[in-house]
């Protein structure tokens, strides 16, 4: 019997063959890599303005975004101006101290941002924050 041989006298292989396990892991890796593109969350393309200091406390707030084209997004989904007013008004009735974080593209005019803030005020929102990049 030679040194390093893994066969017993009966011809039974006693070493663990890891090749099938590696094959299965590689197949799973390929599957995850291919499906990762489909799991990617769609994002809103907004260039936030940069500031020196910002408040990092944005927990428990509704997220409203205004794109460069003037389209509104509520919590990441596209919404019309009337739909935004309806949803925020309904939510503000149940949560009077609700905070809304407004994300607006840095290339928007001051008038467009103030219009969005006016819509939120009209809905009954008293606590607003502007989202910025640090």
Q: Are residues 72 and 108 in contact, defined by beta-carbon separation less than 8 angstroms?
A: no
Q: Pairing mode, if any, of strands 61-66 and 72-74?
A: antiparallel
In angstroms, the CA 25 to CA 5 distance is 28
Helices 110-122 & 81-94 angle (0-180, nearest 10) = 40
Domain-embedded: residue 27: no
The three-state secondary structure class of 118 is helix
Tens-digit pLDDT profile for residues 2-17: 455 555 566 777 778 8
* Count of structural domains, the chain: 1
Buried b (16+ CB within 10 A) or exposed e, 64-78: bbbbeeeebbbeeee
Domain-embedded: residue 105: yes
Tens-digit pLDDT profile for residues 24-78: 999 999 988 888 766 555 555 665 566 555 555 545 678 888 888 888 888 888 8
In this prediction, residue 1 carries a pLDDT of 43
In this prediction, residue 124 carries a pLDDT of 87
Q: Domain range for residue 81? A: 61-130
In angstroms, the CA 44 to CA 105 distance is 10
In this prediction, residue 24 carries a pLDDT of 93
Domain-embedded: residue 112: yes
Domain-embedded: residue 35: no
Domain-embedded: residue 81: yes
Q: Pairing mode, if any, of strands 77-79 and 127-130?
A: unpaired
Q: Which residues contact 28 (CB under 8 A, 6 or more apart)?
A: none
In this prediction, residue 77 carries a pLDDT of 86
In this prediction, residue 46 carries a pLDDT of 61
CATH number at residue 116: 3.30.420.270
Domain-embedded: residue 115: yes
């Amino acid at each position: 019997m030679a040194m390093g041989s893994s066969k017993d006298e009966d011809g039974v292989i006693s070493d663990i063959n890891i090749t099938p396990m590696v094959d299965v892991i590689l197949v799973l890796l390929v599957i995850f890599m291919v499906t990762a593109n489909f799991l990617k969350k769609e994002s809103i393309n907004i260039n936030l303005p940069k500031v020196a200091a910002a408040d990092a406390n944005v927990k428990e707030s509704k997220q409203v975004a205004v794109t460069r084209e003037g389209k509104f997004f509520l919590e990441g989904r596209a919404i019309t101006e009337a739909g935004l007013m309806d949803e925020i008004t309904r939510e503000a009735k149940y949560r009077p101290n609700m905070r809304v974080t407004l994300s607006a593209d840095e290339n928007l005019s001051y008038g467009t941002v103030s219009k969005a803030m006016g819509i939120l005020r009209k809905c009954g929102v008293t606590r607003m924050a502007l989202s910025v990049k640090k």
